[in-house]
Amino acid sequence: MMISIPDDLLAQLDAEAKARCTSRSALIAQAARREISLPNSARIDELLDAARAALADTGSWSAADLVREQRASH
């Protein structure tokens, strides 16, 4: 497999791999695995939009109001 990496980034990778006592390939593989495991931001935005739409008709409220109501009921 061949990939292209800018020379300045390659130098940073090599320095970091040396500092971690690992290989360039291992460092790149670790970074790729971490990146792939991150949540999909577009999907998170879709879920947030759906949640906002579901709550749109619930009216206005604030956390402070909820705490006051709970304290008053006890």
Say if 11 falls within a structural domain.
Answer: yes
Say if 67 falls within a structural domain.
Answer: no
Say if 3 falls within a structural domain.
Answer: yes
Classify residue 37 as left (phi > 0), alpha (psi -120 to 50) or beta: alpha
Which three-class secondary structure state does DSSP give residue 8?
Answer: helix
Say if 37 falls within a structural domain.
Answer: yes
Query: What residues contact residue 17 under an 8 Å CB cut-off, 6+ apart?
Result: 23, 24, 26, 27
d(CA 38, CA 26): 19
What's the number of domains the chain is made of? 1
Question: Does the pLDDT at position 34 exceed 90?
Answer: yes
pLDDT tens digits for 50-66? 999 998 888 777 889 88
- The phi and psi torsions of 23 (rounded to 5 degrees) equal -95, 160
Question: Does the pTM exceed 0.75?
Answer: no
